[in-house]
Amino acid sequence: MTVPGPIRVSASGAELADLLPPPGPARRLIGISGAPGAGKSSLAGFLLGLLGERGAHVPMDGFHLADVELARQGLVDRKGAPETFDPLGYAALLERLRCHPEQTVYAPGFDRHVEQPLAGAIAVPPSAQVVVTEGNYLLLDHPHWREVRSCLDEVWHVRCDDRVRLERLVARHTEFGKDPATARAWVEGVDEPNARLVESSADRADRVLDLSGWQGGPRTVVFPDADPSPESLEGAG
């Protein structure tokens, strides 16, 4: 597959509106892939602002295995790697969103304060003509992850300056409880090997967006109610 050259998104992101599908009779599912910290969640939030009531956001992070299962499998120290997710469950939800647009579908979120998935946290109503889903591994060339890719109409792969991306990751880990040294060790030992794996599958994307010059946008997710807060129940970027 030949991927078009990267689109360098401007500071305002004004060109992003032209990339979204116009209103139509069929629901569209758009995936956003990229390395940890590349800006996936921020982009999803910005797109939701453009879409308004005809958009919804379902993050891959809701399909993290819970810590109790990671402990059972001996994977706690690998949390965030492909094997610590449920890709077939994720694919099943995406297929339901595609096949039953007339229903309200409830999707899991991810509470970053406790680092755990939360069942039924996100309502996707029939009015959502475009569902945006983001995660690291949407393009991974593995049978279970290929099931996810097959449910999506298109996938946008995002990149940004590596220095900025790494700073974001360390800041995120410290914000949610790790001391700076532990945060940097986690980035180097877990996040960066995952980032290299994600980038190795980028040639399977429909388009590539360079977010290095983008000033970002609101990180907003639509929930059935205001508790828990949207800020803690979002994708990891």
pLDDT digit string (tens) for 57-85? 999 999 999 999 999 999 998 888 999 99
Residue at 8: amino acid letter: R
Out of 98-102, 117-121, 216-220, pick the least confident.
216-220
- Domains in the chain, number: 1
What pLDDT is stored for residue 230 in this prediction?
Answer: 42
Mean pLDDT of 104-133: 94
Report yes or no on 195 lying in a domain.
yes
At a CB cut-off of 8 Å and minimum separation 6, what does 181 contact?
none
User: So what's the pLDDT on residue 226?
Assistant: 36
Cis ω before 228 (30° cut-off from 0):
yes
Q: Is there a domain that residue 236 lies in?
A: no
Give the Å distances, CA to CA, from 92 to 8, 64, 129, 206, 221. Answer: 33, 15, 18, 22, 21
Is 235 inside any structural domain? Answer: no
**Does any domain span residue 219?**
no
What residues contact 235, with CB distance under 8 A and at least 6 apart?
40, 41, 44, 57, 59, 60, 61, 110, 134, 135
- Nearest Cα residue to 236 out of 44, 12, 27: 44
Task: Decide if 231 is inside a domain.
Answer: no
Q: What is the CATH number of the domain that holds 57?
A: 3.40.50.300
How much of the chain, in percent, has pLDDT values that exceed 70? 89
Is 43 inside a domain boundary? yes
Judge whether residue 171 has pLDDT over 90: no
Whether 148 is covered by a domain: the verdict is yes
**What's CA 1's distance to the chain center, in Å?**
23
Query: Which domain covers residue 161, as residue numbers?
Result: 7-20+28-214
Q: Is the residue at 143 inside a domain? A: yes
pLDDT of residue 2: 61
User: What mean pLDDT comes out for the span 107-111?
Assistant: 94
